[in-house]
Amino acid sequence: MFVELPQNLILYTAGAFFIGWLLSAINSRMSSISAARKRDPRDDRIRSLEAELRVAQADAEKFSGKAKTLEKSLEEANEGIEKRDNVISHQQERIEDLGRNLKESVLKTRELRAELSERATQNLKSEMKIREVETELEVAQASTDLIATGVLDYSFAPDPEEGDMAETDVQFSQAASRKSS
């Protein structure tokens, strides 16, 4: 049934098969070495992109850490600015209050000075009146003393000199009217 093949033929077939396998293994090794020498530029590009990706990821992690610290410092700076703004606005309010108080005190000082000068003027006037009254009192006292001592004598009889004076006045007025005409 089966065909009887000579044993040599089986050996030659097995030997040929083995030699083919051996040659194909050597050929694949040689081609892999030459293929290794002739790499595909796309593989190199992929490898360089992968390396760049790893570097970019490391840089991104480093910069994200820096960004977080910068955000914290920015928040602290904003809080500091808000505190300074509050202090400045509070100081401006105090300055405005002090300005208003200063204006009010200046106005009150001016009013007090005006009142003081008015009182000083009234004081001087009253002192002058007091001096006049004192002088009149002294004159009255002196005349009372003179009357009491008898040096001055006021009599109710007309003075002869007064009559002469009246005549002199009449003559003077007549003379003045003649000159004017």
Residue 92 scores a pLDDT above 70: yes
- Helix H or strand E segment including 39: none
For residue 40, the model assigns a pLDDT of: 72
Supply the mean pLDDT for the chain: 84
Q: Which range among 23-37, 45-59, 72-86 shows the weakest confidence by mean pLDDT?
A: 23-37
Three-class DSSP labels, 85-144: HHHHHHHHHHHHHHHHHHHHHHHHHHHHHHHHHHHHHHHHHHHHHHHHHHHHHHHHHHHH
Per-residue pLDDT at 152: 61
pLDDT score, position 177:
56
How confident is the model at residue 66, as a pLDDT? 93
Query: For 36-59, how does the pLDDT look when each residue is reduced to its tens digit (9 = 90+)?
Result: 667 677 888 899 999 999 999 999
What are the tens digits of pLDDT across the range 111-158?
Answer: 999 999 999 999 999 999 999 999 999 988 888 887 777 766 555 545
Give the distance from CA 139 to its chain's centroid: 73
Which band of pLDDT confidence, cut at 50, 70 and 90, is reported for residue 1? very low
Tokens of 154: 């006021």
Q: How many CB atoms lie within 10 A of CB 67?
A: 11
pLDDT at residue 174, rounded to an integer: 59
Q: What is the pTM of this model?
A: 0.38
Residue 2 pLDDT level (bands cut at 50, 70, 90): low
